[in-house]
A and B are shown apart, each in its own frame.
Chain A
Amino acid sequence: MRPIANTRDVTGVPTGRLAIWWVIGSEIVIFGGLLASYLMYRLANPGWAGHAAHTNVVAGGFNTFVLLTSSLFAVLAHQAAEAGNGKKAAKLLIATTVGGLIFLTVKGFEWTHEIQLGYTITANTFWSFYYTAAGLHACHVIAGMIVMLIVAAKARRGVDLHHVELIGIYWHFVDVVWIFLFPLLYIAK
């Protein structure tokens, strides 16, 4: 049952949207702490460029394209939900989830290849950061996909259509984190 508290919006911002922004605020500092640590180490260790050269920029670039495209589907799903078309929103959310799945599959091939070449998480602290940061990001992708499927199942029945926007905001955030990770881990040589 929805409490009366949940129906009020003193700030003018719907409660769900307010909450998701606070979630993102706390997530930003988690990734912020990790990436700030990485940057400090990277600046102190110019030799890491040699390790970074072994990352697969093409795969990373393709994944960036996939994630950005999936975010477009999330926006379209939001648009459909605003128009009250739950079935269309659900289809578009599933398309977004497929984007996440492609992203993870490419990542799986990348990591398998790198591990076979001996670049494991303990090979060097660059690789430790590489797997930790990308792994933490991948956990967020997986969590987002699971929630998105739940939201899609509900949206298909026309229930809780405002959740489509919220999961979309979260998905964009996951996207933006990748936009930071890709240049820092892959491109910077």
Chain B
Amino acid sequence: MAVSVGSEPTAHEDHHHEQSFWSKYVFSTDHKVIAMQYMATGVVMGLIAGFFAYAFRMQLAFPGMDVPGFGIVTPADYVSLVTNHGSIMVFWVAMPVLLAAYGNYLIPLMCGCDDMVFPKINRLSYQVFLLSAIVLVASFFVPGGGFGGAWTAYPPLSAKAEYNLTPLGSSLWVLAVALEFVAFLLGGINFITTAMNSRAPGMKMYDIPVVIWMLLIASILFMLSVGPLIAAAIMLLFDQNLGTAFYDPNRGGDPVLWQHLFWFFGHPEVYVVLLPTIGLTADIISVFSRKKLFAYRTILYTAFGTGILSFFVWAHHQFISGIDPRMAHIFTVTTLLISIPIAEMMFVYIATLYGGSIRFTTPMLWALAFIGEFLIGGVTGIFLGASGADIYLHDTYFVLAHFHYTFFPITIIGFYGGITYWFPKMFGKMMNETLGKIHFWGTIIPFNFIFIPLFFLGMAGQHRRIYNFEHFPELATPGLQNIRVFATTALLIMLSFQLVFFYNFITSLRKGKKAGKNPWKANTLEWTTESPPPHGNWPPSELPSVYRPPYEYSHPDREEDYWPQNVPN
């Protein structure tokens, strides 16, 4: 492929050399372009999933309403909407944006090399991912509609067309998820080998920025946990289409097997998406406190510990699936244990802030919000990890609110924190701070107004996946219905504030102030090249070497308050 070292990858007018638009933006092997492809696809899928949330929240607040832009939400529509909202948010938003987009963009840049080690495999990874997204979107339009068996796809509901009534949608869903896994296994090989093998000369293990460590650990966790679910997906496809009985209790199968295999992947998966956000939060907090990251090594050891422990908590999703109470007890203990390392990371971040000269830029606000909001998610998880309390709370809106308090900070805050921080590097322009802050508050405040009420609904006994609460007299009281209307109103406000972000994004791209190489005065290697970095990231003769750890801010011997990793002294 023709390579244009030193040219501006974003300049559309660049016709004088060989690369066509197609080879540059569509079939590119450049890790930065692939990162943008992943991010754009993730954002589009996120808009679809957000639209789904709008449709089903409207139905819950105003049952039977003709939802503007969607129409009447039938029971079948409702289950399909919630199923695909969950599936998309986890597999087609959190994974591509946090792991694939940030991983692709940051690993070569922050490790000081010109590209991923296998650029063609990287391109293949995105193409398979795009195919998986297309298969999923196509499944909404087949006869019977999209899959409606919940994003966890428990059999027998997911296995038999007589039950889920979506013979094509359910198989296409499984196929899309399987393709998505293939894409991330291919991408993960690149992430792991690049971070392990291709670091800049002098970059020792403890000189690697935390976000790269976290992306690396997340990729390893994914690779080691997804296998059983791939096996489970094959069995589910065979149950759906060939008439095997892996999950059919009438014919010698066992539906709980799926739950084990699904959650053996599903719980490490939480950490697969959490760790990248934890990592980029660490980088942002250190930069905008102008202070060395507190206890760098402790964060790493904690992340390793979390990763290992995350393989031993999965059955806390199955406390009411007929699990032996003694086994439930063991999983309660491991689940409560895993809150310790995460709590410790939060304390480490607070210790980093302590005594720093804090700058409340937009990315910093997102990073701080991550600590606060994720804390609520973590603390409410304690109730669900304890098997006794979980028996009451299982499958209520309390669970739903809990995991939205984990996944929203992870995915949405993580995405906005990262994009506002690295936007100057990605596009060479500064984002508008005022609009950024309006968008921040317009997202964070309504977010809490959506989900705090749902905790109360859950404690009042409101179950998930019910399409119209009018059919349940105890849950149809005006008091409870008002809470639902309140949450839906907050959702509408939050969704409308996202327009501010897109407006800010586009206007900053066109008219933003030039960013220069290092607008935040940060230490890590990506800030030593042009913004946006050219193809190959640095001229081949100027690839950086590393002389120190990444968080040397406000060093007493230095006149400037930062000390880039690539500066010899």
Chain A contacts to B: CB under 8 angstroms: 1, 3-6, 8-11, 13, 15, 18-19, 22-23, 25-34, 36-37, 40-41, 45, 121-122, 124-125, 128, 132, 136
- Of B1, B234, B252, which contacts A45 at CB under 8 A? B252
- Cα(A125)–Cα(B251), bound, Å: 8
Q: How far is the CA of A59 from the CA of B460 in the complex (A)?
A: 62
Task: Report yes or no: B254 in contact with A8, Cβ–Cβ below 8 A.
Answer: no
Instruction: Say yes or no: is B235 at the interface (Cβ < 8 Å to chain A).
Output: yes
Tell me whether A26 and B238 are in contact (CB under 8 A).
no
Give complex CA distance A128, B236 in Å.
12
Residues of A with C-beta under 8 A to B117: 3, 5-6, 15, 19
Q: In the assembled complex, how far is the CB of residue B215 from the closest CB belonging to chain A, in whole angstroms? A: 14
Footprint of A on B, CB under 8 Å? 1, 3, 108, 113-119, 185, 188-189, 192-194, 196-199, 203, 223-232, 234-235, 238, 242-246, 251-254, 257, 261, 264, 536, 540, 543
Are the C-beta atoms of A33 and B231 separated by less than 8 Å? Answer: yes
Do A125 and B108 have beta carbons less than 8 Å apart? no
Partner pick for A121 among B192, B203, B242, B540, CB 8 A cutoff? B242
A8 and B203 alpha carbons, distance in the complex (Å): 12
Q: Do A11 and B197 touch (CB < 8 A)?
A: yes
Nearest residue in A to B191 (C-beta to C-beta)? Answer: A22
**Distance from B529 Cβ to chain A, minimum over Cβ atoms (Å):** 14
Q: List residues of chain B with CB within 8 A of the CB of A10.
A: 196-199, 203
In the assembled complex, the Cα of A121 lies from the Cα of B362 at a distance in Å of 57
A11 x B257 contact (CB < 8 A)? no
**CB<8 Å pairs between A and B, sample of 30:** A3-B536, A4-B113, A4-B114, A4-B536, A4-B543, A5-B113, A5-B117, A11-B196, A15-B193, A15-B198, A18-B192, A18-B197, A22-B192, A25-B224, A26-B226, A26-B227, A29-B225, A30-B228, A31-B227, A31-B231, A34-B228, A40-B257, A41-B252, A121-B244, A122-B242, A124-B252, A125-B253, A128-B244, A132-B238, A132-B244
Contact indicator B230/A33 (Cβ below 8 Å): yes
Q: Contacts A8-B198, A132-B234 given: A18-B113 contact, CB under 8 Å? A: no
B231 partner residues in chain A, CB cutoff 8 A: 30-31, 33-34, 37, 136
Taking a contact as CB atoms under 8 Å apart, the answer to whether A26 and B223 are in contact is yes
User: Which are the 5 A-B pairs with shortest beta-carbon distances?
Assistant: A33-B228, A29-B227, A30-B227, A34-B231, A5-B113
Determine whether the beta carbon of B194 is less than 8 Å from that of A26: no
Q: Measured between C-beta atoms, what is the minimum distance from A38 to chain B in Å?
A: 10
Q: Which of B113, B257, B261 contacts A8 (CB 8 A)?
A: B113
Closest B residue by C-beta to A25: B223
CB pair A9–B197 under 8 Å, yes or no, is: yes
Residue of A nearest to B204 (CB): A10
How close is A48's CB to chain B, nearest CB, in angstroms? 9
Contacts of B230 in A (CB 8 A): 30, 33
What's the Cα separation between A160 and B455 when bound, in Å?
59
> Which chain A residue has the least Cβ–Cβ distance from B253?
A125
Residues of chain A with a CB closer than 8 A to B243's CB: 122
Q: Which residues of A contact B203 (CB under 8 A)?
A: 10
Task: Give complex CA distance A104, B556 in Å.
Answer: 69
A-B contact sample (10 more), CB < 8 A, given A3-B115, A23-B189, A34-B234: A1-B1, A4-B543, A5-B116, A5-B198, A6-B198, A26-B224, A33-B232, A37-B228, A121-B242, A128-B244
Given known contacts A1-B1, A6-B117, A26-B224, is B198 in contact with A33 (CB within 8 Å)?
no
The answer to whether A33 touches B185, judged by C-beta atoms less than 8 angstroms apart, is: no
Q: Report Cα–Cα, A10/B235, bound state, in Å.
A: 40
Q: Which residue in B113, B192, B238, B264 is a CB contact (below 8 Å) of A3?
A: B113
Q: Give the most central of A5, A121, A122, A124: most B CB within 10 Å.
A: A5
CB pair A37–B261 under 8 Å, yes or no, is yes
**Contact: A33 with B254, CB < 8 Å?**
no
| B197 close to A13 (CB less than 8 A) | yes
Identify the interface centre among B113, B117, B119, B188: most chain A CB within 10 Å of its CB.
Answer: B117
**A residues within 8 A CB of B245?**
122, 125, 128
Closest A residue by C-beta to B227: A29
A169 CB to nearest B CB, Å: 14
- What is the CA–CA distance of A29 and B543 in the complex, to the nearest angstrom? 37
CA distance A32 to B261 in the complex (A): 11
* Nearest-neighbor residue (CB-CB) of A40 within chain B: B257
Do A125 and B252 form a contact, CB below 8 Å, given A22-B189, A26-B224?
A: yes
